[in-house]
A and B are shown apart, each in its own frame.
Chain A
Amino acid sequence: MDRDEPLLKVSGVTLQYKTTSHIVTATYRVGFEMLKSDRFVLLGPSGCGKSTLQKAVGGYITPTEGEMRLKGKLITKPGPDRMMVFQEFDQLLPWKTVQQNVAFALEAAKKMPKREAADRAGHYVEMVGLSKFSNSYPHMLSGGMKQRVAIARGMAMEPDILLMDEPFAALDALTRRKMQDELLSLWDKTRFTVMFVTHSIAEAIKIGNRILLLSPHPGRVQAELNSATTPEDVAHLERQIHEMLFSEAAPEAAHA
């Protein structure tokens, strides 16, 4: 693939879902491109459709308008080339051990032989530092450890994109910081492509190299920014995003 050819191309995507009484538009004509090894962050306040947008990339929701192409192929249904890491702790199969959880994904989705799947699972479990717990069942693990297993499972599949939906939101602040650092060091090792959903500006700047800022009700692209690394730039960018989010939010809040 050409280096500048986008890995994921989302163009003019409108997403709607039905409640019992209404049809709600979650995002309106959103478009962006992701390159290989991007750490692409979807950032916005609650109700901006960022999670819905990611679920659509995951193949769980079909857009009513526009299209999404992964490596030029239209996304129509869920598949192991886009592994999801959810916010919920119950995303691991409780009847399988840590090792089996990772290996089962490989066997079920990639039709990998048992031996090979076990080897690769062991490698990725070690990578997230859980070798000691590889024979434990999920209910014996802490929240942070469960999320690590989910990340190991996602990475072991070596998907085109790893889709992470606020994976650290349910963790305590200390664990969250540690997990962010770990995710970045894992990225340094394998340079996987990740789409990361968050509502925390600080987390977006820390995790991402590119940030898509969405405005709420319905979600539209407000800005697409490069992230910052030096402390001054980070502070500046954070202030900038803050202003963009709240100058928009203030009049809307008055309507509501």
Chain B
Amino acid sequence: MRNQLSVVSNSQMTNSFRPEIRNAQSLEEIRVVEKPRSLFDKLYGEDVVRKAFILIALAFVWEAYGRWLNNDLLFPTFGATITAFAKGVANGVLPGRAWGSIRVLLMGYAAGVILAAMLTGLAIASRIGRDFLETMTSMFNPLPAIALLPLALIWFGLGNGSLVFVLVHSVTWAIALNTHAGFLSVSKTLKMVGRNYGLGGPAFIMKILIPAAFPSILTGLKIGWAFAWRTLIAAELVFGVSSGSGGLGWFIFENKNMLDIPNVFAGLLTVILIGLVVENLIFRIIEQRTINRWGVHS
């Protein structure tokens, strides 16, 4: 049409002719309008604020119900629980018990991680290793770790040994399963890139496979942690770790026997708090430093 322009006389220009437009809008005309969001809007956008609000609301409901029930043996108020918690922290009982639990947990967790690493290493190295891992995980993963406690008590007696044994069982399979799945899902291209660099064997696993499968590995570590924490508290309810200085589970059980229910609640609160700290602080930070920064998600 533009070529025909010269041929078409002015009078013939009907409304079908449209002039070309170039740079119609100069930059000055476009005003960038920025409007600050309202305070409420900004606060509501924050995860932490919304969740804190829910927690405060729950505390109010708890307090109200406790006062209405007025029976410390069945359901102590929020205030009574916090008082018991503060007293427990101040006299050093609660931190001591918590440390007792965490120490055993870390031992079991570390042993479980090492075992899982060895199993997945074998599974990568050979076909039979893979079959072994798959058979073992499908057998033992559905078996609740706590069900092994009676057996562990016979083998290792009353003590840390039994606890570590059930912890290893609860941690290993979850981590091995996820790590193995992660290794299998590493993209073919990345594996070819690794081999292009001339990497092989352990160097290939350390420098290519593990970082590439890290989202899955981290998921495994998180699930393993949650399993281990639950298993430990449950196991401790059955018996104290060693006489006099048991863990949190034993603390809860002891206080229930003495009908000191606010202390039972304080013990439960500690279990919850530790779980929250590990999930939302430790694992969150690891996530932000790794998979969020790399833009990879499982």
For the complex, give the distance between the alpha carbons of A58 and B187 in Å: 18
- The answer, yes or no, to whether B19 is at the interface (CB within 8 Å) is no
Flag if A83 contacts B196 (CB, 8 Å).
yes
- In the assembled complex, the Cα of A83 lies from the Cα of B192 at a distance in Å of 11
The verdict on A137 contacting B195 (CB below 8 Å), with A88-B189, A93-B190 known, is no
CB distance from B15 to the nearest CB of A (A): 34
8 Å CB contacts to B: which residues of A41-81?
A: 58, 60, 77-80
Report chain B residues within 8 Å CB of A80: 196-198
Question: In whole angstroms, what is the CA distance A77 to B195 when docked?
Answer: 9
Q: Does B66 contact A (CB under 8 A)?
A: no
The answer on a CB contact under 8 Å between B295 and A91 is: no
Evaluate contact between A95 and B294: CB separation under 8 angstroms: yes
CB atoms of A60 and B192 under 8 A apart:
yes
Known A86-B189, A91-B189; judge A58-B196 contact (CB<8 A): yes
Q: Which residues of A contact B255 (CB under 8 A)?
A: none
**B277-297 Cβ-contact flags toward A at 8 Å (1 or 0):** 000000000000010011110
A90 with B197: in contact, given A95-B211, A108-B207, A137-B295 (CB under 8 Å)? no
CA distance A13 to B193 in the complex (A): 24
B214 interfacial contact with A, CB 8 Å:
yes
Residue pair B296, A94 in contact (C-beta under 8 Å): yes
Residues of A within 8 A of B295 (CB): 94, 137-140
A79, B198: Cβ atoms closer than 8 Å: yes
Whether A30 is near chain B, meaning CB under 8 Å from some CB there, is no
Cβ of B199 under 8 Å from chain A = yes
Check B296–A105 contact: CB distance below 8 A: no
Quick one: closest B residue to A150, CB to CB? B193
For residue B207, which residues in chain A have a CB less than 8 angstroms away from its CB?
A: 104, 108
Query: A190 to B40, alpha carbons, bound, how many Å?
Result: 59
**Chain A: interface secondary structure?**
mixed
> B198 contacts which chain A residues (CB < 8 A)?
78-80, 108-109
Residue in contact with B294 in the complex, picked from A77, A94, A108, A109, CB distance below 8 Å = A94
What is the size category of the interface that chain B forms with chain A? 20 to 34
A140 to B294, CA, bound (A): 9
Q: Which residues of B contact A138 (CB under 8 A)?
A: 295
**Smallest beta-carbon distance A74→chain B, Å:** 17
Instruction: Specify which chain A residues have a CB less than 8 angstroms from the CB of B296 in the assembled complex.
Output: 94-95, 139
Nearest residue, chain B, Cβ from A109: B197
B189:A78 contact, CB within 8 angstroms = no
| B216 CB → nearest A CB, Å | 14
Could you tell me the distance between the alpha carbons of A82 and B296 in the complex, rounded to whole angstroms? 28
Alpha-carbon separation in the docked complex, A139 to B211 (Å): 15
Complex contact B195–A78 (CB within 8 A): yes
Residue of B nearest to A92 (CB): B193
Q: Which of the residues B190, B196, B290 comes within 8 Å of A78, measured between beta carbons?
A: B196
A93 B197 Cβ-Cβ under 8 A: no
Chain B residues within 8 Å of A83, by CB: 196
Chain B residues with CB under 8 A of A77: 195
Q: A95-B214, A95-B294 known; A60 and B193 CB under 8 Å?
A: no
Residues of chain B within 8 A (CB-CB) of A91 are 189-190, 193
User: Is A34 in contact with chain B by the CB < 8 A criterion?
Assistant: no
A211 interface hit (Cβ, 8 Å): no
Bound together, the chains give a CA A77 to CA B198 distance in angstroms of 9
Query: In the complex, which residues of chain A have a beta carbon less than 8 angstroms from the beta carbon of B290?
Result: 95
| A84 touches B (CB below 8 Å) | yes
B293 and chain A: residue at smallest CB distance: A137
Give the nearest-CB partner of B204 in chain A: A108
Instruction: Determine whether the beta carbon of B189 is less than 8 Å from that of A137.
Output: no
A14 to B190, CA, bound (A): 26
Residue of B nearest to A89 (CB): B189
Given the complex, which residues of A lie within 8 Å of B187, measured CB to CB? Answer: 88, 90
Contact of B190 among A90, A105, A139 (CB under 8 A): A90
Within 8 A of A (CB), among B38-93: none
9 sampled A-B residue pairs with Cβ under 8 A = A78-B198, A84-B192, A91-B190, A93-B190, A95-B211, A95-B214, A139-B294, A139-B296, A140-B295
Q: Assuming A90-B189, A91-B193, what are 14 further A-B pairs, CB within 8 angstroms?
A: A60-B195, A80-B197, A82-B196, A83-B196, A84-B196, A93-B193, A94-B212, A94-B294, A108-B197, A108-B199, A109-B196, A109-B198, A137-B294, A137-B295
Q: Which 9 residue pairs spanning A and B have beta carbons closest together?
A: A139-B295, A109-B197, A78-B195, A108-B197, A95-B211, A94-B294, A88-B189, A95-B294, A91-B189
